[in-house]
Structure 1
Amino acid sequence: MSRPDGASPDTPLGQAESAALLEPWIGPGTAYRGAVLAVSGGPDSTALMGCAALAQSCAAWTGRGFPLVVATVDHGLRPGSAAEADGVAGLAARLGLKHRILAWTGPKPTARLQEAARAARYRLLAELARETGADLVLTAHTLDDQAETVLMRLCAGSGPAGLSGMAPARTLDGLALGRPFLSVPKARLVATCAERGWPFVRDPSNADPRFGRARLRRLLPLLAEEGLTAERLARLAGRLRRDEAALSDAAGAALRDLRRPASGGKGCLVLDGAGLAALPEAVALRVVGLAVAAVQGAAKQAEASPYPPRLERLERIVLGEILPALRSGASCRRTLAGLLLAAGRGRLAFSPARPRRQPPS
């Protein structure tokens, strides 16, 4: 199957094309001071490292001295992971790039292991960036990764924000995280490594059926036969990300307009009930979510959840109970994410909920 731009899905990236993808991040005129390249040794990240080295050798890029550090996180979860990290170090040296191995030490959880490993990986990468004076971390997520992410979140019941997938750029603990290859099929990066002679390894966990992402990965070819290709899933993510940004902006403006003086002191927030009830439900839902986050941040209480409420519960309480109460003039009190939401007398008030009484021991 050919791509809309005419390129075959397994055509290697040329030097000019890869440099164009990387230029906003590490090219001439970039606003960043330095970058950490996250390289596991797989084909995607190996291509990122190799293409970055090639780009820096371009005539237009030479003499800049933009600081790049390649980082490999050794999670210590598989035999041979240390040798794989050493292999990345060897290729980095061959390409003229600095390299660091970051070890994930300490006890490993038995449940949600991949999530814990991901969190540890980003924490270690951010720590290295700060240590080296870099303000950017680049990963090699691909079009295929985006499609898998959208499918995983669809299976989890995510709304538009979740189905918008991975953003090309986001913040990471005060730094920037960039994904320059998010529009590139994985097969093209594999072909790039093969053409350039860059050795890579394949992580067996990527095909391990114990993990949900690996199971969904096996479904993608079947879905593509029905027309649901990785490109279309990625296009869906982009459209939803665009729409979600517009709705979020509208919700932020509405929150500012609807806030009223709160008499409950610090950690309380009050919204105009009639104005909230008159908003489109998609915007009203986000306004309440933003208000919950604002109160959580102001209260800083252990009882308040550090995470946003799940969409299903937010919908059930806001759309099913709070908004109908505001429209009818009835009173309604519900708890959500460690907060008390009280609707009545034309207002919706947010305040920290009282801790539940512990049963006697």
Structure 2
Amino acid sequence: MLLAVSGGPDSTALMHAAAAVGAAPGASAQVAIQVATVDHGLRPASAAEAEGVARAARALRLPHAVLSWAGPKPGTGLQDAARAARYALLAAHAEKIGAGLVLTGHTLDDQAETVLMRLAAGSGPAGLAGMRVERPLAPGIALGRPFLNLPKAALVAWCEARGILHLRDPANADPRFARARLRAAWPVLEREGLSPQRLARLAERAARDDAALRIAAEQALDAALLPGGPPLRLDGAALAALPEAVALRCLDGALTRAGAGPRRLERLEALILGTLLPALRRREASRRTLAGFLVASDAAGIISLAPAPPRRQKAADAALAAGGLDLLGKGEPPAYIGEVCTDGPTKPSGASV
């Protein structure tokens, strides 16, 4: 397995704990542990910090690699871009060394911040479920977060009790970034009862509801699909009979199957709740464009999903490029809600509610 270690207390604790487990009597000789540090090249000290992690890994007899984020950096949405680059580099290195599991040091505090950011961005249950303990990272490679239920303070204390040196990332307190601004607000939020523990509990509950809704929507989509096509066609009467939360996810899944591009939750809600379902119940025809697809229903209640005509596609692309409100105050993109959005607002290849 591959450990993602930045040098902070969380990932440093991960590296030392993994080394201790690997060296313990009776440990499986089949598990080979390697370490990687992503150097984003955003601060002058980053290269030296990565080399410091390399020295610490070598002292634990763990192979180490520095993965550099090369190329130009964006002027806005920097943390999202850095996150995407980090996971891409880790996935590529894991594949190179034959690792099927990548572990990170994310903690309960990180989970709470993620939920708070997604709450501010207007996320649905899938977004409020926050980070998952385990999720696919790439074909044949899983991403695991073994510390997701542990508070950061516990890992800091664990390192300090053992004299393990670690770094503190100055970006964690940089007010240019949404996470840092929200982190500075914790004292006020906790006085009102909005603690990291309660936000993490909200994530657990939202994850349970999200899983149930996903299964219900997949079953409903399979039942509503009509034979033939393309275009992909659905039984509108079956869709109209569903609870709205399931109907939203059902059509969202149909758009994904049809090959639609990124879509935002509020636009999906406007199309389904504001146009499609009312038209189906009145047995009227409707036509709307979303994510590059024309979603149409006829008076007989048949829904069809087909690529939008070029002029409609151009208008849809322009609307998507225009984006939404600057919800977090620093030009960061709006949240796309779904499994692809696992570590904070980002720009995925698709989205779900």
Q: TM-score range by the shorter chain?
A: 0.7 to 0.9
> Residue deviations 1:65-86, cap 9 Å, x none?
4111100011111011111011
Q: CA deviation at 1:97?
A: 1.0
Query: What residue in structure 2 maps to residue 145 of structure 1?
Result: 110
Matched, 1:99 2:64: yes
Corresponding letter in the other structure for 1:226:
E
Corresponding letter in the other structure for 1:189:
L
Corresponding letter in the other structure for 1:327:
R
> Residue deviations 1:136-179, cap 9 Å, x none?
11011000000000000000011111111001110112110000
Query: What residue in structure 2 maps to residue 80 of structure 1?
Result: 45
Q: CA deviation at 1:57?
A: 2.0
Equivalences for residues 93-132 of structure 1 within 5 A:
93-132=58-97
Corresponding letter in the other structure for 2:220:
A
Q: CA deviation at 1:347?
A: 1.1
From 244, 269, 286, the counterpart of 2:249: 286
> Residue deviations 1:182-202, cap 9 Å, x none?
000001111111111211111
> In 2, Cα distance between the equivalents of 1:170 and 1:330?
42
From 284, 302, 318, the counterpart of 2:272: 318
Counterpart secondary structure, 2:135: strand
Corresponding letter in the other structure for 1:106:
G
From 51, 54, 57, the counterpart of 1:89: 54
Query: What residue in structure 2 maps to residue 350 of structure 1?
Result: 305
Query: What residue in structure 1 maps to residue 177 of structure 2?
Result: 211
Counterpart secondary structure, 1:101: strand
Judge conservation of contact 1:91–1:198 (CA < 8 Å) in 2.
Answer: no
> In 2, Cα distance between the equivalents of 1:341 and 1:107?
38
List structure 1 runs of 4+ shifted beyond 4 angstroms.
none
Corresponding letter in the other structure for 1:356:
R
Matched, 1:230 2:185: no
> In 2, Cα distance between the equivalents of 1:334 and 1:84?
52
Query: What residue in structure 2 maps to residue 335 of structure 1?
Result: 289
* Structure 2 unmatched ranges of 5 or more: 316-353
Query: What residue in structure 2 maps to residue 44 of structure 1?
Result: 10
Q: CA deviation at 1:218?
A: 1.1
Matched, 1:201 2:156: no
> In 1, Cα distance between the equivalents of 2:282 and 2:82?
49
Q: Alpha carbon RMSD of aligned pairs, Å? A: 1.3
What TM-score, normalized by structure 1, do the two folds share?
A: 0.84
Judge conservation of contact 1:259–1:270 (CA < 8 Å) in 2.
Answer: yes
> In 1, Cα distance between the equivalents of 2:57 and 2:278?
61
Query: What residue in structure 2 maps to residue 173 of structure 1?
Result: 138
> Residue deviations 1:235-277, cap 9 Å, x none?
10011001100000000000000111244x3xx2111111110
Judge conservation of contact 1:258–1:276 (CA < 8 Å) in 2.
Answer: yes
Query: What residue in structure 2 maps to residue 13 of structure 1?
Result: none
Deviates more, 1:192-201 or 1:146-155: 192-201
> Residue deviations 1:259-316, cap 9 Å, x none?
11244x3xx21111111100000000000000000001xxxxxxx52x2x21111111
> In 2, Cα distance between the equivalents of 1:275 and 1:126?
41
Q: CA deviation at 1:221?
A: 2.4
Judge conservation of contact 1:37–1:138 (CA < 8 Å) in 2.
Answer: yes
Q: Percent identity?
A: 59
Corresponding letter in the other structure for 2:108:
L
Query: What residue in structure 2 maps to residue 243 of structure 1?
Result: 209
> In 2, Cα distance between the equivalents of 1:189 and 1:108?
32
Matched, 1:261 2:209: no
Q: CA deviation at 1:219?
A: 1.4
What TM-score, normalized by structure 2, do the two folds share?
A: 0.86
Corresponding letter in the other structure for 2:135:
R
Counterpart secondary structure, 1:129: helix
> In 2, Cα distance between the equivalents of 1:250 and 1:195?
48
Counterpart secondary structure, 1:356: helix
> In 2, Cα distance between the equivalents of 1:65 and 1:324?
58
> In 2, Cα distance between the equivalents of 1:53 and 1:195?
17
